[in-house]
Structure 1
C-alpha cells in the first residue's frame, strides 16, 4: 500500500508543469493601464483665438475717406451729408458694418447710384474693416509716429500726422477722447491733405473757439497747425 502511494505521488510530481504561473499584483496592473493611457508624452498643439484689432475712426481714417470722396467730386471740400460727413459723425467709435452703411449712403448722395464706386469711400471703409487697418499703411505710420523723432519732416499740409496733432491739442482743451462736432479737428479734416492755408487756419480757429467759448488757446489746435506750417518753411 505504501509503495502504491509513493508511485502515485511520484507520477503527480512529474505531471506538474515546469513553468510557474505568476499573478500580476493589482497595483502593477493599474500602473500598466495608466502608462498605456498616459498622454503626457504626446505632443499637443495649443490654439489661440485672436481677433483682428478693432479699427477706430480717427483722423487718419477720415482723411482716407475724404481723399476718396474728392476723387469722385473733384471738389476740395467734402460735401454736406456726404461720406466724409457721415464718417465724421462716428469719430472715436469702432468701425462697424452699420457705420459703413452710413458712409455708403453718403456716397450714394453724391453719385446717385446704388453701386459704390471702385476705390471710393465705401470701398476704402470696407477694406479697413476687413483688414483691421487703415488702407494706407504709410498714413498709419504717420499717426503712430506723430510723437516721435520720425516726424522731423513737416509737410506743411493737413496730412494724417498734422491732423493727429490737432486732435491731441483739442483733447487737451475738452478732456474728451473724441473730437467735438464742428470743432477744430472736424474743420481741419474738411481740408484733409490740403496745404495749411490762411483759410484752413481760419476754419480751425472757428472750431477752436467753439470749444473754448470764444478764445484761442496757446498750444491749442490753431497754434499747432501754425507751428507745423512754420516748421515746413524752416
Structure 2
C-alpha cells in the first residue's frame, strides 16, 4: 500500500512532476514541492492536497491541476487513504472529488478533467464542507461539460449524495 504521509519519497515524486512542468533543476519558490514540504512527514490530508494544488497552479499558470501532475501524486495517495475510511464526511475531500471526477469522465469520455468543469470547481473548494455555494459551482462546471443542465447521476448529484450520506450516518 502507498504511504499515506508526505514522506521524502512522496515529496521526491512531487518534485519530479514539478520538474517535468517547469524544466527547472530545482523546485520553484511557492510551487508544489515547497507546499508539500510544509506538510513534510504529516498525513496527506485534503488541506495538504489543496496546498500542493495551489503550488501547481502557481507554476503552470492554469486554473486547475494537470492530469498526472504534482497535485495528482498527493491526491491519489490521499484518495486511497480516505477510501479506507468509508464514513461519509460531508466535505469535498479527495474521495468525494474522485467520485465527481469519475462522474465527469462518464459525461466527457476523457481522462482529463475539463477546465472550469465540475472537478475543477470541486477542487477549488477542496476540504470545505459541502454547501449550497460549492454545489452551485460544481453545477456550473457540470453545465459546461453537458452543454446545459446537470444530469442524473452526474457530478452535482454525486456531491449531493455525499452530503446526504453524511447527514444520515
- Between the two proteins, the alignment pairs up a number of residues equal to 129
- After TM superposition, the structure 1 = structure 2 runs for residues 1-234 of structure 1, keeping only pairs within 5 Å, are 64-67=48-51, 82=58, 86=62, 88-90=64-66, 92-95=67-70, 134=74, 139-142=78-81, 145=83, 150=84, 152-234=86-168
On the 8 A contact 1:89/1:181 being kept in 2, the answer is no
Q: Distance in 2 between matches of 1:187 and 1:135?
A: 15
C-alpha deviations, 1:82-138, integer Å up to 9, x for none?
Answer: 469648252x1355xxxxxxxxxxxxxxxxxxxxxxxxxxxxx7xx9xxxx53895x
Per the normalisation by structure 1, the TM-score is: 0.46
Q: Distance in 1 between matches of 2:127 and 2:139?
A: 18
Per the normalisation by structure 2, the TM-score is: 0.62
- Ranges of 4+ aligned residues in structure 1 off by more than 3 Å: 54-57, 60-65, 81-87
On the 8 A contact 1:157/1:194 being kept in 2, the answer is yes
Flag structure 1 segments of 5+ consecutive residues without an equivalent.
1-51, 70-77, 96-124
C-alpha deviations, 1:161-211, integer Å up to 9, x for none?
Answer: 000000000000000011000000000000000000100000000000000
On the 8 A contact 1:62/1:84 being kept in 2, the answer is no
Flag structure 2 segments of 5+ consecutive residues without an equivalent.
1-9, 19-43
User: Which structure has the larger Rg?
Assistant: 1
On the 8 A contact 2:63/2:115 being kept in 1, the answer is no
C-alpha deviations, 1:31-68, integer Å up to 9, x for none?
Answer: xxxxxxxxxxxxxxxxxxxxx9x7789xx999634235
Change (3 A) 1:83 1:190: farther
RMSD of the TM alignment (CA)? 3.7
Q: Distance in 2 between matches of 1:83 and 1:197?
A: 30
On the 8 A contact 2:130/2:159 being kept in 1, the answer is yes
